[in-house]
Structure 1
Amino acid sequence: MLTGKYMELYNRLRLEIPAERLIHDDLRTFAYGTDASVYRLIPRLIVRVESEAEVILTLKHCRDLALPVTFRAAGTSLSGQALTDSVMILMGTEGWRDYAISEDAGEIRLGAGILGAQANQYLSPYNRKIGPDPASVNSAKIGGIVANNACGMASGVIHNSMYTLKHMRIIFSDGTVLDTGDPESRRAFLRDKQEMVERVSALAARVKGDSAMTAKIREKYSIKNTCGYSVNALTDFDDPVDIIQHLMVGSEGTLGFISQVTFMTTYEAPRKATALMLFPTMARACEAVLLLKKCSVSAAELMDRVALRSVETKPGMPPHIRTLDDEAAALLVETRADDDAALQRQVDEIVAAFASFPLAHAVEFTTDAARIEALWNVRKGIFPSACSARKMGTSVIIEDIAVPIRHLENTLSDVQALFRKYEYESPVIWGHVFDGNVHFVLTPDLTDPEEVALYKKFMDEVVDLVVDRYNGSLKAEHGTGRNMAPFVEREWGPEIYAVMREIKAVFDPDGLINPDVIINDDPEGHLRNFKGMPVAHPLVDTCIECGFCERNCMSHDLTLSARQRIVLYREMTRLARSGADPTRLAALRRQFDYYGDQTCAADGLCALSCPVEIDTGRLIKDLRHAGLSATASRVAGAIGDHMDTVTTLTRWGLKVADRIHAVVGTDRMSQWARSLRKLSGDRLPLWTAWMPRNAEAISCMPVRRESRLRVVYFPACITRSMGPARYDDEQVALTRKTESLLRKAGYEIIYPKGMDRLCCGMPFASKGITDTAGKKARELGAALLAASENGEIPVLCDMSPCLYHMKETLDARLDLYEPIEFILKFLTSRLKFVKLPETVVIHTVCSAKKMGLEEKFRQLAEMCAETVVTPQITCCGFAGDRGFSYPELNAHGLRHLKEQIPESARHGYSTSRTCEIGLSRHGGISWQSVLYLVDRCTTPLD
């Protein structure tokens, strides 16, 4: 509950910022306040900002009320720099997405809310990319990447944010805005902020005038270094505005808010080859780095045996890795070129360099894009993957050091000796060895005071080792945060640390912006505010809360993300186990019902971007099952036993609704539907103009042809119930359209016996009604085995979600297909495809994505139409029937759909009838099954 100054702040802000973006309830402050580090602070008030004006307003009132404030982007930071127990300014999802590419693609201007991977997608057609390439590039936002000077596998010390930055737009603590790319803004800033400019200029002159200080700074930045402020801005730039914008790089939100960045892009050679080079020992791998430095190599990534063991079963990893000795290590090496001939020369050069070098396996380069992507995805996921093998309930601490490359082998040996001394079992080591950059992971139980004390002693020795013995950096690329703030002075010395203190004072004189990050006088600040990781459920106990799942979670920023659901479930489990605060537990459970359960699409896409494949949707389904009442279970059982009656009643209801629609018109029908839903307390499903009409009842007589081609066709219960909508382009039912297409290809159609009573069980499984789901799956499996002659005849289901569930639950003998795969495998050789002279839009539904069909769907669509558009959508949010009951979920998932559909497009295609309802509503064009598209553009070969 808000009190005192926080209530005053809330009352001021709600006059100009919608109340739904001023978050202060226990559930969301706890969930949203979590980042990827081992620390936890719970914000009192979260302000989700969508514009610079809202940032300025919040900063003004926080300054007036002397309230500390912290900026937050994606929350993938590992050192605790995105946490607060005061006010959090959380970057929203709508106001920070603008971008522009220069004519020659040499520069790209990016809103701070754009993901790093999105920026690279925009640049990909030009063979360009942004310089920073952290492992979190798919999840981290540009504002956070720059604020942390995030580097990565190929950026080194040249292509990081510091040296590829061209311009920046900054909001300072007093609300002043500086756009360094706008001459007028620069002039106004130099005029109005003269004192700041003079103090920064004086600092630069002081540093440049001290040869010893300048030499130390340049030496420290010859390797990766994100410990402390980027004082190399004072030595490497002369213009005060340029110095100021470069001081913002790596400032971790302690000096101001970065709202926009312009990068100078880097060239991305189009051809590449990758090899996982295996060595008998870590020492040999370190020696190999020196050889690789002499070759044309764009990246070299070190992985020790423990790291390899954590990912050796992942797709794309060669099987012989499992036979390596415990001392083995690997280098993931990539070389790039403009053409195949040059690439082959470079590969030959590398192979020749290692002709007589001791290897654990012969060097094998691949140019296959899928294999290369798989190898790099495995590398990017080493941190979470390795941590998933830890003892459950322990925390994960990742340290991130760099040393001059000549000291790399000795440093690794010394670090391993420390592991043994402090009895840390199975520590994982990996890193960017061209930069002398090494990561290692510890997994202590930070709820145990003895383990905390041990960790303190270990860190003191690591600092001695890195700073005194090897003159390295204590944080190479993960930022100082709270984790290393007490040691900044130790690394840099009192003179340069005094410069850093002055930088903080110049930009943040009141000390209110992200306090205790980078500058922290508490020598044990890194030992405070640890978060617990209680054992909660086997499905999610391996989660380290890295946030990689969030980019695929469609309810993220609406209610909760997959990560946030896990965070809250852990907390509720802890409270239930301890019995400490039953009132709070009850309140969290009440809120979690909507935020965590009802608005979870349970589509499983989170598992696709999770390095350890945690499907939070499965957790939610388990919770739904646990909360199922006996009455609900009996009702579900009755529905399952009478599917033929249910589909008949559904068709009748849709027919009645359509006739009323025809009489009263769309506007009045919509108004009535909204009123009735409101009167029911949102219990009635929401009717929309794209609600389907009733489907026709299916005659299950076999469609006989004189052909040896046979297929078992199982129309999903949804398509047996729901026909086209009134405004759909084609009014033939999908079942009839499918029959027509199969006949055109010469197929005899076989229907399973008792089809009207059959269901795959997915609608029940999604609600946690596992008994009925299992029963329906068994019934369907038996019917399909009989119809397909024990799997001899392929089975087609017309909806991807149902087919995916069938693959998960039915007999492995069945040869099961959804429309995309069936058409490509069986119909392309039996039909003549003629491209339609039009633009079509396609959306791959979640189940098809999980089956790896995105590229195949595009391939199929491009056989059918001249132009194919694929909007950037994760999940549409219809989630079976939740689009009717929780339409806000569908609206959120498709909030950017319409803007991505060109005016020339009139038709959209997918492979799920319910998803197509929402796509039509929010896209403004008719969406139907891809089977309609294929039928339109094909004729029989004969």
Structure 2
Amino acid sequence: MPLLEPDSAALRPATDTAPAADRVPPELAEGTPQPLRGDLERLLGAEQVLWRVTDLVKYASDASPYRFLPQVVVTARTVEDVAAVLAYAHGHGRNVVFRAAGTSLNGQAQGEDILVDVRRHWSGVEVLDGGARARVRPGTTVVRANAALARHGHVLGPDPASAIAATLGGVVANNASGMTAGTTRNSYRTAASMTVVLPSGTVVDTAAPDADERLAREEPELVAGLLALREEIVADTELCARVRAKHRLKNTNGYRLDAFLDGDTPVRILRGLLVGSQGTLGFLAEIVFDALPLHRHTSAGLLFFPSLAAAAAAVPRFNEAGALAVELMDGNTLRASVSVAGVPADWAGLPAGTTALLVEFRTPDDEARRAAERAAEALLEELELVAPVASVTNTFTSDPGVISGYWKARKAFVTAVGGARPAGTTLITEDFAVPPERLSEACEALLELQERHGFDAAVAGHAAHGNLHFLLAFDAAKGEDVARYAAFMDEFCTLTVERFDGSLKAEHATGRNIAPFLELEWGERATTLMWRIKELIDPAGVLAPRVMLDRDPRAHLRGLKSIPEVEAEADPCIECGFCEPVCPSRDLTTTPRQRIVLRREMMRQPGRSLVGENLLADYGYEAVDTCAGDSTCKIACPVGIDTGALMKDF
């Protein structure tokens, strides 16, 4: 029995509350049906099969606006476990999705059949060659890997904003980049080799000297197919030129067709294809990265310009001066950020057109840092800057406390919008890229489009690479809100492709939201090749169906999750998962995100439903008793939710 039994009456939905359309159906009230549950328990052992309705709900949400309920969750411990699950799926006509941190923003970590947890038993990093390389397991967070490398003066190239929680299997699978990675430091360029379990169960170590020979013996049809595709693509000069042009920008939409141009053997082609494949071509059991020098001497400036156009015009000049990061925040973002602790309150009075750039230089020594500062300060004298409020300095500093404050202001974009959105609305985080010289034009077009469709208009992003981010909040339970979102997406995608020839996904990967628009960006020829790649490597369609390739033009509207109102403290939760790595009970019962996800499912249910009662019966131990109550989750949470305090209230 729970030691601290929560008040059941307080946790049940009101009897007159209408159940949500996307609630867990009654037939799953008792969890995973037979024979699926029994088959997997015999295959892996009962302790590795999570089958209760509580387990299924915990894994049904990730950082995306989507929600898909798995039929069962298994915790794989070894490569052999993964191969066994894939063999079972092949033999029984089932499909498999891999999930580690669940920080993907477009539903890549969600499945509707067998979901395989590859976070819990898959962490670890081995520093190689004095820090020049690192061997990592896919459940290792970016922060943990960088902590191991830092003592050797090195760092990984990819640096997503979710580094505290994002694991490197997902980073490589989505080719996530971040503020500094651009197109030269991302996983495609720095993942030197990997060990992969193919959908057939074949294990390939791309670094093995005899990897091509072994692959030819074990997968002759795959090898022949990859070489035939390469010959076909290389012979199409127009397509080759298009592929190269598309990847001059940050682009994570679809498979990397340039893998056939950069790789001259089947294994090298396969290595390139797996980066950004979003779990649809194989399981990354291990990755070896080429690490980069960690330049510890930093100088940064937060610079304010009178207009978007003036800020955008300055971006290439800072790029030329050697800045590693140039981050943009439009006026709406700056004014909204005052709700975040530490952001100057006088930003609320900034004129509408004001735009800020956060510019950072990283250098190997103090002399180089001072030289960078001198060059940057000289550049400032040639730019049109404004200082409309007392908190603006428009200068460069090496003070780590001040620089940390600058980055807090930049990262307040998600915090401010996500935390202030109306209760009951879900949050969509999107990103795209345009040629950097058209940055200002793209910002203005996006802001106008957001406003016209009734969304809060704000934009921020990695200006150095023409990579912009925006957020949308709407109620997925309301048909009119979904229709408004659909109309926005149709127009946004057309605008990005036809007006700017941009990337519909710069660093978040295709996912469910952009899958219907893949052909709009790439055209019929390239999209057909991507389907052929999937059919060649995964002919049975076992892995991650509909995550990246989907012929349904309305697929992005399927599975949008409702956000029923729960306790006021938890309502702002955007289900990002940043809280999970710091939670002491994450491998015992539930994480802060999962505690809130379970509460939301209770409120989706009709009063006294069997699903709701079963969730409630588990909640005392799963959520309340086993919460450490230390509130470290609040520190990691972008919107400052103290789930520990909430559990103590229960």
Is the pair's TM-score, using the shorter chain for normalization, greater than 0.5?
A: yes
SS in 2 for 1:156: coil
1:365-376 aligned within 5 A? 365-376=396-407
- Compute the displacement of 1:377 (Å): 4.3
SS in 2 for 1:484: helix
SS in 1 for 2:593: helix
| Alpha-carbon separation, structure 2, partners of 1:294 and 1:98 | 38
SS in 1 for 2:215: helix
- Compute the displacement of 1:270 (Å): 1.8
1:217-366 aligned within 5 A? 217-312=243-338, 314=340, 317-318=343-344, 320-361=346-387, 362-366=393-397
Q: Which residue of 1 aligns with 2:539?
A: 509
CA deviation string 1:334-367 (max 9, x = no partner)? 0011222221121121121121422123422221
SS in 2 for 1:14: helix
The letter of the residue matching 2:202 is T
1:132-531 aligned within 5 A? 132-312=158-338, 314=340, 317-318=343-344, 320-361=346-387, 362-380=393-411, 382-424=413-455, 426-531=456-561
CA deviation string 1:125-159 (max 9, x = no partner)? 12211111111111011100000000100000010
Change beyond 3 A, Cα 1:214–1:565: same
Q: Which residue of 2 aligns with 1:23?
A: 50
The letter of the residue matching 1:499 is L
SS in 2 for 1:178: strand
Identity within the alignment, %: 38
- Compute the displacement of 1:305 (Å): 2.4
- Compute the displacement of 1:406 (Å): 1.5
1:99-118 aligned within 5 A? 99-118=125-144
| Alpha-carbon separation, structure 1, partners of 2:369 and 2:144 | 27
Matched, 1:613 2:613: no
- Compute the displacement of 1:559 (Å): 0.6
| Alpha-carbon separation, structure 1, partners of 2:500 and 2:215 | 42
SS in 1 for 2:129: coil
| Alpha-carbon separation, structure 2, partners of 1:384 and 1:189 | 47
SS in 2 for 1:388: helix
SS in 2 for 1:38: coil
Question: Unaligned stretches of 5+ in structure 1?
Answer: 624-942
| Alpha-carbon separation, structure 1, partners of 2:189 and 2:396 | 31
The letter of the residue matching 2:275 is V
- Compute the displacement of 1:174 (Å): 1.1
> Any conservation in 2 of the 1:50–1:92 contact (CA below 8 Å)?
no
> Any conservation in 2 of the 1:399–1:441 contact (CA below 8 Å)?
yes
> Any conservation in 1 of the 2:298–2:398 contact (CA below 8 Å)?
yes
Q: Which residue of 2 aligns with 1:43?
A: 70
| Alpha-carbon separation, structure 2, partners of 1:612 and 1:309 | 17
Q: Which moved more, 1:51-60 or 1:283-292?
A: 283-292
| Alpha-carbon separation, structure 2, partners of 1:476 and 1:226 | 5
SS in 2 for 1:560: coil
| Alpha-carbon separation, structure 2, partners of 1:545 and 1:407 | 33
> Any conservation in 2 of the 1:351–1:363 contact (CA below 8 Å)?
no
| Alpha-carbon separation, structure 1, partners of 2:261 and 2:412 | 36
| Alpha-carbon separation, structure 2, partners of 1:382 and 1:268 | 27
The letter of the residue matching 2:638 is P
| Alpha-carbon separation, structure 1, partners of 2:620 and 2:341 | 36
| Alpha-carbon separation, structure 1, partners of 2:471 and 2:222 | 41
> Any conservation in 2 of the 1:5–1:65 contact (CA below 8 Å)?
no
> Any conservation in 2 of the 1:485–1:519 contact (CA below 8 Å)?
yes
Matched, 1:545 2:575: yes
Matched, 1:91 2:113: no
Matched, 1:62 2:62: no
> Any conservation in 1 of the 2:37–2:51 contact (CA below 8 Å)?
no
| Alpha-carbon separation, structure 2, partners of 1:392 and 1:360 | 36
The letter of the residue matching 2:370 is Q
> Any conservation in 2 of the 1:133–1:151 contact (CA below 8 Å)?
yes
> Any conservation in 2 of the 1:539–1:618 contact (CA below 8 Å)?
no
The letter of the residue matching 1:194 is P
| Alpha-carbon separation, structure 1, partners of 2:78 and 2:411 | 32
Change beyond 3 A, Cα 1:610–1:310: farther
The letter of the residue matching 2:376 is I
- Compute the displacement of 1:313 (Å): 5.4
| Alpha-carbon separation, structure 2, partners of 1:257 and 1:312 | 42
The letter of the residue matching 2:489 is M
SS in 1 for 2:511: coil
CA deviation string 1:626-646 (max 9, x = no partner)? xxxxxxxxxxxxxxxxxxxxx
Change beyond 3 A, Cα 1:92–1:299: closer
Change beyond 3 A, Cα 1:272–1:212: same
SS in 2 for 1:335: strand
| Alpha-carbon separation, structure 2, partners of 1:166 and 1:492 | 27
The letter of the residue matching 1:107 is R
> Any conservation in 2 of the 1:316–1:375 contact (CA below 8 Å)?
no
> Any conservation in 2 of the 1:179–1:186 contact (CA below 8 Å)?
no
CA deviation string 1:393-416 (max 9, x = no partner)? 111112211011111111111111
CA deviation string 1:285-304 (max 9, x = no partner)? 11121221221211011112
Aligned length: 618
- Compute the displacement of 1:229 (Å): 0.9
2:597 aligned residue (567, 576, 586): 567
Change beyond 3 A, Cα 1:378–1:354: closer
Q: Which residue of 1 aligns with 2:98?
A: 71
The letter of the residue matching 1:473 is S
| Alpha-carbon separation, structure 1, partners of 2:265 and 2:549 | 26
